Amino acid sequence: MPQALMATYNRLPVSFQRGEGTWLWDSEGKRYLDALSGIAVCGLGHAHPAVSKALCQQAGELIHTSNLYHIPLQEQLGDALTRVAQMERVFFSNSGAEANETAIKLARLYGHRKGIEKPAILVMEGSFHGRTLATLSATGNRKVQAGFEPLVQGFARVPFGDIESVRAVAEHSSNIVAVLVEPIQGEGGINIPPEHYLAQLRAVCDQHQWLLMLDEIQTGMGRSGRMFSYQHSDITPDVMTLAKGLGNGVPIGACLARGDAAEVLGAGSHGSTFGGNPLACAAALAVLETLEQERLPSRAEALGARLLSHFADALSDVAGIEEIRGQGLLIGIELDRPCTELVELALKQGLLINVAAERVVRLLPPLIMTDAEAEQLVEQLSSLLKDFLDS
Ligand SMILES: *Cc1c(COP(=O)(O)O)cnc(C)c1O
């Protein structure tokens, strides 16, 4: 079909023409319930009026000027984000991978300033941090790395959720400068660490002057039931990266920092032509304002709890369901077998879902999903799962 495009994606046989809230319509006019939000991006749903209005207005006024000049909207967004996150400074990029690249560069420079010649960052098995060379090297999934060697050096890896292995590394490695970790692993299959994991990581980082760098690209912007996932604990990271939900579909990423970490990147040390341009910042400001005004993080928490309990009821006696887990609107239903076919079966029935790590049905619905839509999701997906596991 699309001969001109590099074959990097196995695309599903559908294209969408229009969206509204939790719904998408394809080119034939068929309607789909969207339980994926463009992979945790459209948290406010499709065509949210506040975002559309901000974009239209800004597009008619000024789209881009470059970071050679002051950008009031970028400063405004920076103030708002750092206030909500209790961070001090922010660098804006255009994607999640770039936000993580910023964090990786920041950590290395921080290490060099401490006199560590070959600084290393501790990363996790099963993690996902992006597709650029440094971020795929940080990613704990061989499939993402295979064929792109030599990988970027300077990463050490431990199992996710295992604080003892982090402490063991701290005992005998002298070149670690930071930990980069997702509070919940999204691409890895909605993996939730043990309860005090982040606090324990914080303690190890404090003890060894490592930076705690949280990749909140998938978990952030209200999705976990708090604006940022670390707010479920009482710790603050040194560095946090955001992207996906930040622009509700307009490409924008951010790397936030506080304390010593906030002062590391200075003039000339990093940059981006597009990063934080007026159009993207206008969209992100509208997103942040809407999330706060409509208390959507709390809505995500309540709706997530409701979905988890209703799925648990609907699937309680179904053989082949290993675990139903989640926090807020990051929900995983793990099966005892590979189930990627489910995505296309659901599509045929007008339902958009995803499968991560081959066996985990991953749901990332928009935060504005109604109770009625949630019921429909539970009914439709549960019957699909029963049929699939029966056959
Ligand atoms: C999606 C994602 C990324 C990469 O973001 P891109 O915008 O695709 O570069 C990085 N980390 C996490 C946790 C993600 O979910």
Q: How far is the CA of 139 from the centre of ligand 1 (A)?
A: 10
Which tokens sit at 369? Answer: 């999903």
- Smallest Cα–Cα separation from 368: which of 282, 314, 287? 287
Q: Is the CB of 128 under 6 A from ligand 1?
A: yes
Helix 341-348 / helix 371-390 crossing angle, nearest 10 deg: 120
Ligand 1, atom 6: closest residue by C-alpha = 96
CA pair distance 14, 17, nearest whole angstrom:
10
CA pair distance 79, 279, nearest whole angstrom:
17
CA pair distance 384, 163, nearest whole angstrom:
38
Q: Which residues are catalytic?
A: 128, 215, 244
92 neighbors 79 (Cβ within 8 angstroms)? no
CA pair distance 278, 261, nearest whole angstrom:
26
Alpha carbon separation from 387 to 203, 222, 333, 345 (Å, rounded):
47, 33, 15, 10
Read off the pLDDT of residues 41-97 as tens digits, 9 standing for 90 and up: 999 999 999 999 999 999 999 999 999 999 999 999 999 999 999 999 999 999 999
Atom number, ligand 1, closest to the C-alpha of residue 132: 9
Collapsing DSSP to helix, strand or coil, 293 comes out as helix
Ligand 1, atom 11: closest residue by C-alpha = 129
Ligand 1, atom 15: closest residue by C-alpha = 218
Which tokens sit at 35? Answer: 């339980």
Q: How far is the CA of 27 from the centre of ligand 1 (A)?
A: 28
Q: How far is the CA of 29 from the centre of ligand 1 (A)?
A: 31
213 neighbors 241 (Cβ within 8 angstroms)? yes
pLDDT for position 183? 98
Tens of pLDDT, residue by residue, the chain (391 residues): 568 999 999 999 999 999 999 999 999 999 999 999 999 999 999 999 999 999 999 999 999 999 999 999 999 999 999 999 999 999 999 999 999 999 999 999 999 999 999 999 999 999 999 999 999 999 999 999 999 999 999 999 999 999 999 999 999 999 999 999 999 999 999 999 999 999 999 999 999 999 999 999 999 999 999 999 999 999 999 999 999 999 999 999 999 999 999 999 999 999 999 999 999 999 999 999 999 999 999 999 999 999 999 999 999 999 999 999 999 999 999 999 999 999 999 999 999 999 999 999 999 999 999 999 999 999 999 999 999 999 8
Q: Is the CB of 96 under 6 A from ligand 1?
A: yes
* 328: Cβ contacts below 8 Å, ≥ 6 apart: 222, 223, 224, 225, 226, 297, 300, 301, 304
Structural domains for the chain: 16-47+295-390 (3.90.1150.10), 50-293 (3.40.640.10)
> pTM (2 decimals)?
0.98
Q: How far is the CA of 99 from the centre of ligand 1 (A)?
A: 9
Atom number, ligand 1, closest to the C-alpha of residue 127: 13
Q: How far is the CA of 249 from the centre of ligand 1 (A)?
A: 13
Q: Which of 98, 128, 139, 246 for a ligand 1 pocket mutation test, highest count of atoms within 8 Å of Cβ? A: 128
